Chain A
Amino acid sequence: EVQLLESGGGLAQPGKSLRVSCRASGFTFSGYGMSWVRQAPGKGLEWVSAISGGGGGTYYADSVKGRFTISRDNANNTLILQMDSLRVDDTAVYYCTKETSMVHTSFDFWGQGTLVTVSS
């Protein structure tokens, strides 16, 4: 059974940093791309960042480019999102997602999410 368990959310001040992680199980982690998707309070879903199975390819939404860094530790089945220079509008529930391996990529499994609150 595929499981994705996020951790590391919490309260941070504007301009500070926070790191969220996602521990994966139930599938061959290194064989799949992974993404972070977020939902701000009262808003819709927003794709944040993606990383290829081997970690060599990384992609970012314009809203986080230059501030967030996605990485993965395939030895420990862990996906990481390092968030620097946080802004109030980064406040959201952050979901870890597993991507399908097909040509038509989709997010076939999602974690329960971790809440990140940016406030002074």
Chain B
Amino acid sequence: DIQMSQSPSSLSASVGDRVTITCRASQSIDRYLNWYQHKPGKAPKLLIYAASSLHSGVPSRFSGRGSGTDFTLTLSSVQAEDFATYYCQQSYSFPWTFGQGTQVEIK
């Protein structure tokens, strides 16, 4: 199985900060990497698919990069509504797997 590892596990940021979250796969997954945002009590939302493609309706302050084993999700200027937990997920091979999550908190 492909293991997904995110760092950091949590971070504190102020509104307007630039934030970067890293996701590493245990083997190459090409660009089969997605990013989701999850707020407590809500359904998760797709942000980025295929490593760098922005899902419809997602603000352009979100961006993704990477291929192979190393990926990043960047929020160029964190807004109040962005405080949530973020997950990466590989769809390269079954079983599909998620990273453990990165909680973005208000400083």
Contact = CB atoms under 8 A, between A and B. Distances in A.
B50 A46 contact: no
A102 interface: yes
Interface residues of A, number: 23
Interface in A9-60: 35, 37, 44-47, 50, 59-60
- Determine the main DSSP class of B at the interface with A: loop
A46 B100 CA distance: 9
B31 A44 contact: no
Range class of the B interface residue count: 20 to 34
Given A104-B91, A107-B34, A110-B44, A44 B99 contact: yes
A35 B50 CA distance: 18
A44 B98 contact: yes
B50 A102 contact: yes
Interface of A: 35, 37, 44-47, 50, 59-62, 95, 100, 102, 104-108, 110-113
